[in-house]
Structure 1
């Protein structure tokens, strides 16, 4: 059985909820990623911040990314998957919530992220087609 841990990108980094969006953007640039999991003071996942969130939700709204925190931008219930979950559970979570990135948790700690690129490397063409149709379908 292929698990989330088998297909994830290991070594994902999170950013504390109290950090500002400009710091998040710098970290994204340095890591060459488009999203960062956001953690509370107990290092527990409380959301995800994306480059699009920073641009559309902060900059385009006239807010200062140096004064807006990641925690302020996080909305909704964060989605994640256990490292031992099978690929079917990963797809169900991502398709069911129309998300493109999924944190992988092990022993209540972030151990990796699954992105579309990870799926493209590990799914059959049929699975990938179904994923794209459900995630990119209009809500």
Structure 2
């Protein structure tokens, strides 16, 4: 059985609920990542902030990234889905596909220990499995070709 732990990226960084979006953006740039889990003071993931969130949900509506906190963004999110380190990867994939999420925090006793991203899946799973995942999670967000567009 392949587990979440064997697929996950173990050295995941996170930001705290009190960190600002300015701090998040700087951290993303420093780490060369597009998303960071948001953790409470005890290391429990409570949300995820992406570079797109900072642009759309903060800058795009005229909010100040130097004063908007990660906790404020996490409050507006739907329930954060996580998976335990011992979970079967098929269950993790099903969860990601069902909720159309591209990043899945991995926990152990409720604390963040890793994250499964599309890149992690692509590196470690068969090509056909990745194709099915992309179709289920990403295809609805891709632009339609002229042939597929309704007339």
Q: Which residue of 1 aligns with 2:7?
A: 7
Rounded to whole Å, the distance in 2 between the matches of 1:124 and 1:71 is 37
* Deviation of 1:123 (Å): 1.4
Rounded to whole Å, the distance in 2 between the matches of 1:89 and 1:58 is 33
Q: Which residue of 1 aligns with 2:93?
A: 91
* Deviation of 1:138 (Å): 2.6
Equivalences for residues 51-130 of structure 1 within 5 A: 51-74=51-74, 75-130=77-132
1:68-125 deviation line (CA, Å, top 9, x unaligned): 0011112111111100111101101110110111111012211111110000011111
Gaps of 5+ in 2: 142-151
* Deviation of 1:135 (Å): 0.3
1:31-75 deviation line (CA, Å, top 9, x unaligned): 111111111233321111111100111111111100100111121
- The equivalent position to 1:132 in structure 2, one of 109, 127, 134, is 134
1:27 and 2:27 are equivalent in the alignment = yes
Gaps of 5+ in 1: none
Q: CA RMSD in A?
A: 1.2
Rounded to whole Å, the distance in 2 between the matches of 1:90 and 1:67 is 35
Give the alignment's TM-score, normalised by structure 2.
0.87
Rounded to whole Å, the distance in 2 between the matches of 1:34 and 1:78 is 17
Greater mean alpha carbon deviation, residues 38-47 or residues 59-68: 38-47
